[in-house]
């Protein structure tokens, strides 16, 4: 998909987006977006998917000068260095950080404090906002303002990868410092504000090596010798293993398959017992972490939700293909986690007990994980039957499936 831009003699932005045999100009995209918003047809990502575009291409169509009646959204293209942009977010005060992948959305409210960068990897360690940032995957960003149906203006910073998939979004909240918004944009505004985005095809996930090519004995010995959970990624790289493949080949007693409903069982039990949990959700550009209690855990259709002040989680349980109980040795004793994967073997989310380096894992957390239902023991959400008469409960599920959980609207 390629987007080229120019200015017409009337001053209105004009460009072409080519996607296969279909060609659409930015004005048509803006009008289509406005109509979809009026009809309540979902977030930016949903609308872009229905239009056959990347989300970045939809946002980029709103750059430049054009009649305000065409769309409620305005976008201004920003430029790097991305670590400097992220560091500047602290000036906005309290904001909401949103990181997602295809099956899970993670939202945290707080302040972007203690930012740092080492090469292409950044950190934000502001307490509530806890991020690992992989800037190599960041390709483009915009400052976005949208007039919502209730008359409020929603302001956000949105970063995308080279394929046009969102890697991170930052939403202003009522407590944010609006006086810092325009200075932040001015300091990072790109010179080129034409409505365009040129997407690139990104390589797909690596294919696992055949099990027969793996030195399983050495791999298992190195797993048993781990002293830090952060060394696990290096272990996989050394042996050329995918994560699910590694869990299958783990040393005895260090992994086991669970029912796909284990995520609900875990969050529900953690809420009931007051046990803290670390929830990791990421994509190639960002990993976002919640550390602390969860309280309000609700299922709605295929969505498993945590709906707490300062932390929202929305997980598509129907996309969980595999769930695993995992144990990794560390210098402080064993650390246990629940790891969730989709049908392609991509990580949807991971849950650990709340702990800091040098601390022993909470025994209540280990016991909670040990209580989760194993594979074949049930616990999965019941699907809505296709067609036919629906019972009241199933009808409610079907309605929820048609109206996914929303917090922010972008």
Residues 204-251 have pLDDT tens digits of 888 899 999 999 999 999 999 999 999 999 999 999 999 999 999 999
Determine the pLDDT at residue 205. 81
* 313, pLDDT greater than 80: yes
Determine the pLDDT at residue 6. 29
Closest CA to 73 of 83, 84, 63: 63
Question: What mean pLDDT is predicted for residues 349-363?
Answer: 92
* 405, pLDDT greater than 90: no
Closest CA to 292 of 310, 315, 314: 310
CB 258 within 8 A of CB 270: no
Determine the pLDDT at residue 409. 61
Closest CA to 144 of 75, 198, 193, 78: 75
**Alpha carbons 105 and 45: distance in angstroms, whole number:** 12
CA dihedral 209, 212, 213, 218 (to 10 degrees): 110
Per the prediction, the chain carries an average pLDDT of: 87
* 357, pLDDT greater than 90: no
Determine the pLDDT at residue 398. 42
We find that the CATH architecture of domain 211-297+316-370 is: 3-Layer(aba) Sandwich (3.40)
Determine the pLDDT at residue 408. 57
DSSP state of 5: E
Determine the pLDDT at residue 212. 95
* 155, pLDDT greater than 50: yes
Residues 267-288 have pLDDT tens digits of 999 999 999 999 999 999 999 9
CB 197 within 8 A of CB 164: yes
Question: What mean pLDDT is predicted for residues 157-166?
Answer: 97
Determine the pLDDT at residue 146. 97
Pick 14 or 375 by higher pLDDT. 375
Residues 337-350 have pLDDT tens digits of 999 999 999 999 99
Question: What mean pLDDT is predicted for residues 305-312?
Answer: 98
* 29, pLDDT greater than 50: yes
**Alpha carbons 61 and 34: distance in angstroms, whole number:** 12
- For the record, the structure tokens of 248 come out as 């299958």
* 390, pLDDT greater than 90: no
Determine the pLDDT at residue 65. 92
Q: What angle do CA 213, 219, 224 make, to 5 degrees?
A: 165
**Alpha carbons 9 and 138: distance in angstroms, whole number:** 34
Determine the pLDDT at residue 202. 86
- The position carrying tokens 């791999």 is 219
What percent of the chain shows pLDDT beyond 70?
Answer: 86
CB 149 within 8 A of CB 28: no
Question: What mean pLDDT is predicted for residues 154-167?
Answer: 97
Provide the total of helices (H) and of strands (E) in the chain, helices listed first: 11, 21
Q: Which helix (H) or strand (E) holds 216?
A: helix 216-224
pLDDT band, residue 24 (cuts 50/70/90)? low
Determine the pLDDT at residue 402. 42
Residues 364-375 have pLDDT tens digits of 999 999 999 998
pLDDT band, residue 356 (cuts 50/70/90)? confident
Determine the pLDDT at residue 21. 31
Pick 6 or 331 by higher pLDDT. 331
DSSP state of 393: H
* 352, pLDDT greater than 50: yes
Please identify, in words, the CATH class of the domain defined by 1-120+138-204. Answer: alpha beta
Query: How is the chain split into domains, by residue range?
Result: 1-120+138-204, 211-297+316-370
Pick 281 or 4 by higher pLDDT. 281
pLDDT band, residue 84 (cuts 50/70/90)? very high
């Amino acid at each position: 998909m390629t987007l080229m831009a120019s200015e017409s003699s009337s001053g209105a932005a004009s460009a072409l987006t080519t996607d296969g045999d279909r060609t659409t100009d930015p004005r048509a995209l803006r009008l289509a977006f406005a109509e979809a918003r009026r009809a309540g047809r979902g977030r930016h990502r949903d609308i872009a998917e229905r239009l056959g575009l990347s989300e970045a291409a939809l946002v980029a169509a709103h750059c430049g000068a054009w009649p305000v009646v065409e769309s409620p959204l305005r976008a201004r293209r920003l430029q790097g260095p991305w670590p400097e942009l992220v560091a500047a977010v602290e000036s906005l005060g309290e904001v909401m950080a949103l990181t997602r992948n295809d099956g899970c959305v993670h939202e945290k409210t707080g302040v972007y404090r203690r930012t740092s960068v080492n090469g292409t990897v950044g950190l934000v360690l502001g307490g509530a906002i806890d991020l690992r940032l992989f800037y190599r995957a960041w390709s483009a960003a915009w400052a976005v303002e949208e007039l919502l149906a209730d008359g409020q203006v929603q302001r956000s910073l949105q970063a995308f990868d080279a394929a046009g998939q969102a890697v991170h979004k930052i939403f202003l909240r009522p407590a944010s410092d609006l006086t810092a918004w325009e200075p932040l944009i001015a300091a990072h505004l790109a010179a080129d504000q034409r409505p365009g985005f040129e997407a690139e095809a990104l390589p797909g996930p690596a294919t696992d090596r055949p099990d027969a090519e793996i030195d399983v004995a050495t791999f298992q010995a190195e797993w048993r010798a781990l002293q830090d959970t952060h060394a696990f990624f290096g272990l996989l790289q050394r042996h050329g293993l995918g994560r699910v493949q590694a869990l299958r080949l783990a040393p005895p007693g260090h992994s086991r398959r669970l029912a796909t409903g284990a995520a609900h069982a875990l969050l529900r039990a953690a809420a009931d017992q007051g046990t803290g949990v670390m929830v990791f959700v990421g994509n190639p550009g960002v990993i976002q972490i919640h550390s602390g209690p969860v309280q309000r855990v609700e299922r709605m259709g295929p969505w498993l939700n945590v709906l707490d002040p300062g932390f929202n989680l929305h997980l598509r349980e129907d996309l969980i293909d595999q769930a695993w109980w995992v144990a990794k040795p560390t210098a402080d004793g064993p650390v246990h986690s629940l790891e969730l994967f989709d049908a392609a073997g991509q990580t949807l989310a991971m849950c650990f007990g709340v702990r800091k380096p040098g601390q022993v894992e909470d025994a209540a957390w280990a016991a909670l994980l040990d209580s989760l239902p194993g594979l074949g023991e049930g616990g999965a959400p019941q699907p809505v039957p296709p067609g036919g008469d629906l019972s009241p409960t199933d009808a409610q599920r079907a309605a929820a499936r048609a109206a996914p959980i929303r917090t922010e609207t972008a």
